[in-house]
Amino acid sequence: MPAVTIPPVPHYEPAPATEEELDWADFPTIDLSKTKTPEGRAELAPIVRDAMRTYGFLYVVNHGLTQAQNERMIDIADVPFTQVPEEEQKQFTSKIKEVGSYRGYKPRQFWTIDNGVKDQIEHYNMHRPIFEQQHPKALQPFLPEIRSFVDHNHYNVLHPILRLLALGLELPEETFVNMHNFDAQGETYVRFMKYYPRNEDDEVKTKNVWMKGHTDIGTISILWSQPVTALQILSPDGKWRYAKHIPNGLIVNAGDSMEMLSGGFYKATIHRVFQPPADQRGHTRLGLFYFSYADDDVKLVPCADSPVLQRVGITRKCADEDAPTMGVWRVARTKVYGVSETEKRDGRVEEQVVNGLVVRHYN
């Protein structure tokens, strides 16, 4: 049989890793390959349980893709930003405020950061089936590879993590997996996201914050680690600490929806994007993300049959009868983030009410 050829793609050269001494977030690292056996899952479940309860974040290694495959996907991720003309990009602009969906391009200067400064973040979002969505011409040769990348994230990363989270609550392993059906109505997507350097005036006005502190909307977020150090986590002691770069590693965190499903046991931790250290400034920051959501019809109420929750108690954001479905929550949060008014509580916290629930942002 003839050899399978892959289309050529321009190489994206990331910034070198920082050499600065920084205050790093010290959450646990798990070896995902251990999830292939019951014994391995039993070993990892308490580690993941404690990490997600304390920090809401963890590092992941041995996820099944090689460094070369990772680098290939980074090169592909730059295509929507460097190989698609601006006029063509406009044809695929996301209808964020209109319908609450990120599919397509989120252009730069769409969100307000602080003091009138707009963001310098561009991203291209693809719904998980990939082929059901229209895409720019330059990206089309790479769609089979992107779909394979989505499948890997969904089945080989997300599902094992969901099983460990279920075991941590002493629930049947497939409890959360059964809420994340690939072909169900929903909005789980892969995101290519590019941050551009800003001018000094914008840095001063925003106190060097590139994306204000927030929690993620969905259940589990998967960030493919890249070398530009900018992601900060609000640690349990109230201090901002940097997520460290692990070559070919992942940073995994819980979102609002997982916090609601777990009755407050797993934490949707505040995180933000900050100006990179001095030895990385002037570089773009290109990231690969897989943002997972439960199926749209899943009601975001605690799994009250969990023996763990029965022992430690349940923290609800609202009464069960008032809880939104995943679809309602997803659309409402997407429509308002970065574009609607917030109420400032003090110099650090801003609040807005979304579907009757308070959402906080931090500077």
Q: Hey, what domains does the chain have and what are their CATH numbers?
A: 29-362 (2.60.120.330)
| Share in percent of the chain as helix, strand, coil (round to 5) | 30, 25, 45
What is the amino acid identity at position 297? D
Would you state the pLDDT for residue 30? Answer: 98
Q: Kindly state the percentage of the chain with pLDDT values over 70.
A: 92
Residue 318, number of CB atoms within 10 A of its CB: 15
Structure tokens at 234: 């609000």
Band (pLDDT 50/70/90 cuts) for residue 309 is very high
Whether 1 has a pLDDT exceeding 50, the answer reads no
What is the DSSP code string of 26-84? ---EEEGGGGGSHHHHHHHHHHHHHHHHHTSEEEEE--S--HHHHHHHHHHHTHHHHSS
Strand partners, 351: 343, 360
Q: What is the pLDDT of residues 100-114, one digit of tens each?
A: 999 999 999 999 998
Whether 226 has a pLDDT exceeding 60, the answer reads yes
Q: What is the pLDDT of residues 53-78, one digit of tens each?
A: 999 999 999 999 999 999 999 999 99
Rounded CA separation 357/363 (Å): 20
Would you state the pLDDT for residue 336? Answer: 83
* Residue 195 phi, psi dihedral angles, 5° rounding: -100, 135
Nearby residues of 334 by Cβ (< 8 Å), 6 or more positions away:
96, 100, 101, 102, 217
Whether 222 has a pLDDT exceeding 50, the answer reads yes
Q: Kindly state the percentage of the chain with pLDDT values over 90.
A: 88
Q: What is the pLDDT of residues 322-348, one digit of tens each?
A: 999 999 999 999 988 766 555 555 555
Structure tokens at 240: 């901002």
Residues in the chain: 363
State the average pLDDT for the chain.
93
Q: What is the pLDDT of residues 153-207, one digit of tens each?
A: 999 999 999 999 999 999 999 999 999 999 999 999 999 999 999 999 999 999 9
Torsion of CA 233, 161, 297, 287, to 10 degrees: 50
Whether 360 has a pLDDT exceeding 70, the answer reads no
Mean pLDDT of 107-125: 94
Structure tokens at 154: 């969904």
Rounded CA separation 186/165 (Å): 21
Would you state the pLDDT for residue 358? Answer: 56
In the chain, count H helices and then E strands: 11, 17
User: What distance lies between CA 67 and its chain's CA centroid?
Assistant: 20
Torsion of CA 329, 335, 341, 347, to 10 degrees: 60
> Which comes out higher in pLDDT, residue 352 or 361?
352
Mean pLDDT of 39-50: 98
Would you state the pLDDT for residue 5? Answer: 82
Return the exposure string of 208-226: e unless at least 16 CB atoms fall within 10 Å of the residue's CB, then b.
ebbbbbbbbbbbbbbbbbb
